[in-house]
Structure 1
Amino acid sequence: MTRIISSLSDIASQYDALFCDLWGCLHNGVAPFPAAVAALQSFRATGGKVILLTNAPRPKSSVVKQLQKMGLPRDTWDDVATSGDAAQFAMLMGAVGQQVHHIGAPKDEPFFTDFEDDIAHLVQDANITRVPLDQAQGIVCTGLADDLTETPADYRAKLLMAKAKGLKFLCANPDIVVDMGDKRLWCAGALAQDYEQMGGESLYYGKPHPPVYDLARRRLGLDEARILCVGDGIATDVQGGVAEGLDTLFITGGIAANHFGPDSNNPNKDLLEEWLSSHQLSPTWSIGHLR
């Protein structure tokens, strides 16, 4: 049974580090949440470390630039680990072949051009080439080409063709949807899910799957750390943390806010318990918004 808390400071002393989600937890895709920023700054001021752990399909460098442009203070975090980083490594190791067809937006171009120092040496030998679908050995999906207007239904024909060719589908962002401001957008995870339902094989590298947690631990650099996973995704942040044997703090006022009553700051305990039971998951802690 989860316990609802009023602020991160109620439990902060129990943890050495946070693996903290971004979208829906620290920002809404447009601007940071001031209370969440203050909570992380306070945690770090008392000696805690914060790894921003995100299913963004782009490499760390690209995400950091986005956060800077958004105005997120640098003293909010220590390092960043992205689904894009972990998926890049898998691609360079040949997970879906050398000739890949990309499904994604122009904003995701850094996935193929910007590599962190720990994997940059693999690029030349990997010899990855982007090709049309009919020439591909596999698919790399960072998202929809235009997530402001498209839905997964627009990709059905392409996915059916890929399934007929027996292509593996590398998903660089396991999220199904995210909220940007007041608009809900589809993510790469929705296409990967559809592909599996067609009988295709999808490969995942972000939350809740192990590769991105291994990366986050390496970037944290602490042995035997007491880690708390923070996020608003029950099937990503919470499920992933539980699978890793880590405590979790569920942000109820994020992507699932409409399930827990009219006040997103104060989730209804009975509604929350019923909803969590239906998902067969119980985060260690819950809170309306990170604060």
Structure 2
Amino acid sequence: MLVNRVFLPTLLAVASAGAFVVPYPRMTEMMTESSRSSGHQAAGPAEDAGGAVKAQGIGLEGLGAVASQYDAFLIDQWGVMHDGKTPYPGAVDCIDRLSKAGKKIVLLSNSSKRKGAALRNLERMGFSTGSILDVVTSGQIAWDGLQDRVDEPFKSLGAKCLVFGNGDDDLEYVSSCGCTLAEVQDADFILARGSFVVADSNGTRRYTPTVMTGEGKEETHKAMRLMLERGAPMLVTNPDFLRPGTNDPMPGLIGKAYAEMGGTVHYIGKPHPAVYQACFHALATAKESAPPPDAPTRAKIVAVGDSLPHDILGALRAQLASVFVAGGVHFDELRVEQGGAGVPSDEAYSAAFSKHLEGEGTPTHVMPAFRW
């Protein structure tokens, strides 16, 4: 069963109503580059005798080993369940087994697309979407905010935007949320939701391989410089840095570049809080969770993901346990096969944790691939 559309004011109300054990900051407090707060750690850094940072649970063969410890699972899609086109070995079975065990499943994705697109893609790949409580995408949360215009930063963004997009559903996304495409000199803000095209009122221009590399780099940086001079902010609806499998730059790197230039950047997606509030809302308002005291506490919620600076860092800041899947976006860095069952060395894990988690903690558990 999928819950109805989540409105941002409702998320704030749920967060303040005591449905979860530890209060969480208002989502707008941590959306901008300059207002990040690390919060409490779900798992502090563990060190061996030589000072190497280690996870709490290295050596898990599959999720079944720890499933009994948790009531709800916030699961990433790309790099964990599938590669965008094909499920990873054991992933469909793992979702089915979680469902049969009575676990609440919320898919949490840094996808700039809306919920419906994610569901259709999952069904095409053979996943049973009937066992999924809800799908929360950063693109859906941003779309809701742009259409409603209730909370900041959406209320102050304006309606005219220059888009760095995916070249797929950009025009429909922009028009359906009440915005319009505009040239640099007229745009109120930059919408960074993809890295393959630049779209404005003059049309859509596709660049190979991306807008941040090759022939697209010059136009992208020129546009950002002009928007910066006008004081225009950027809204990033997919904070990921690299595309799994290709290492192509994603919108998160566009946002990082704009912030380094001195621009104001608003992020929607992991590791930032708005998407976690949406997940908590889904868990608290599900029919099987009523009345509210039956909703899972944070200690019984675990986040599963493959990106250390997004899935795992987001879980740490949301005060959640986490499972790091090694065979995802960091597969090359960890020297394992993407989507495979290879186990990285302790040294490789330690180096990756130190590099990407900013000293804020480590994953609660680690496993090579998303399987039971």
TM over 0.5: yes
2:209 partner amino acid: T
Alignment partner of 1:152 is 2:216 = no
2:330 aligned with 1:275, yes or no? no
Alpha-carbon distance in structure 2 between the residues aligned to 1:68 and 1:95 = 37
TM-score (norm 2): 0.70
Deviating above 4 A after TM superposition, structure 1's stretches of 4 or more consecutive aligned residues are none
Aligned residue number for residue 117 of structure 1: none
CA–CA separation in structure 2 for the residues paired with 1:105 and 1:273? 34
1:143 matched residue in structure 2:
194
2:103 is the alignment partner of 1:48: yes
Identity %: 27
In structure 2, C-alpha distance between the alignment counterparts of 1:259 and 1:130, rounded to whole Å: 38
Alpha-carbon shift at residue 76 of structure 1 (Å): 5.4
2:174 matched to which residue of 1?
112
Deviations 1:174-222 (A, max 9, x none): 001112xx43332111111110111101100100000011111112234
Q: 1:219 and 2:282 equivalent?
A: yes
Of 10-19 and 213-222, more deviation after overlay is shown by: 213-222
2:239 & 2:275 partners in 1: Cα distance?
11
Aligned to 1:289: 369
User: SS at the partner of 2:362?
Assistant: coil
TM superposition shift of 1:66: 2.3
Q: From 102, 118, 126, give the equivalent of 1:71.
A: 126
**Cα gap change, 1:288 to 1:106, in 2 (>3 Å):** same
Deviation at 1:95, TM superposition (A): 4.2
Which has a greater percent of helix?
A: 1
- Change in Cα spacing, 1:183 to 1:216, as seen in structure 2 (3 Å) is same
CA distance in 1, matches of 2:328, 2:87: 13
8 Å CA contact 2:301, 2:320 repeated in 1:
yes
Q: Would you say the 8 A contact 1:173–1:188 is kept in 2?
A: yes
Q: CA RMSD in A?
A: 2.0
Q: Distance in 2 between matches of 1:142 and 1:87?
A: 10
Q: Is the deviation greater in 130-139 or in 90-99?
A: 90-99
Q: CA deviation at 1:72?
A: 2.9
Q: Structure 1 residues 129-138 or 164-173, which shifts more? A: 129-138
Match of 2:321 among 247, 251, 254: 247
Is the 2:235–2:267 Cα contact (8 Å) retained in structure 1?
yes
- Selected match of 2:304 from 230, 239, 259: 230
The separation in 1 between residues aligned to 2:131 and 2:79, in whole angstroms, is 16
Distance, in Å, in 1 between the alignment partners of 2:82 and 2:207 is 18
Alignment partners' CA distance in 2, 1:67 and 1:17? 20
Q: Give 1:151 deviation, angstroms.
A: 4.2
What is the aligned partner in structure 2 of residue 173 from structure 1? 238
Q: For residue 232 of structure 2, what is the amino acid of its counterpart? A: L
Q: Kindly indicate whether structure 1 or structure 2 has the higher relative contact order, using CA contacts under 8 Å at least 6 residues apart.
A: 2
Structure 2: distance between partners of 1:90 and 1:227: 26
Q: Which of 178, 182, 185 lines up with 2:248 in the alignment?
A: 185
CA contact (8 A) 2:174 2:181 kept: no
Structure 1 residues 147 and 257: CA distance shift in structure 2, 3 A: farther
Aligned to 2:265: 202
1:132 aligns with 2:183: yes
Tell me, in whole angstroms, the C-alpha distance in 2 between the residues paired with 1:186 and 1:46.
38
Q: Answer with 262-271 or 97-106: which moved more.
A: 262-271
> For residues 95 and 111 of structure 1, do their structure 2 counterparts lie closer, same or farther at Cα, with a shift above 3 Å needed?
farther
- Aligned-residue offset at 1:267: 1.7
Change in CA separation of 1:134 and 1:70 when aligned onto 2, cut-off 3 Å? farther
Query: For structure 1, which runs of at least 5 residues remain unmatched after alignment?
Result: 115-122
Residue 159 of structure 2 contacts residue 188 of structure 2 at CA under 8 Å; is this kept in 1? Answer: yes
Partner of residue 102 from structure 1, selected from 152, 163, 168: 163
Partner Cα distance (2:72, 2:158) in 1: 36
Count of equivalent residues: 278
Q: 2:71–2:296: 8 Å Cα contact kept in structure 1?
A: no
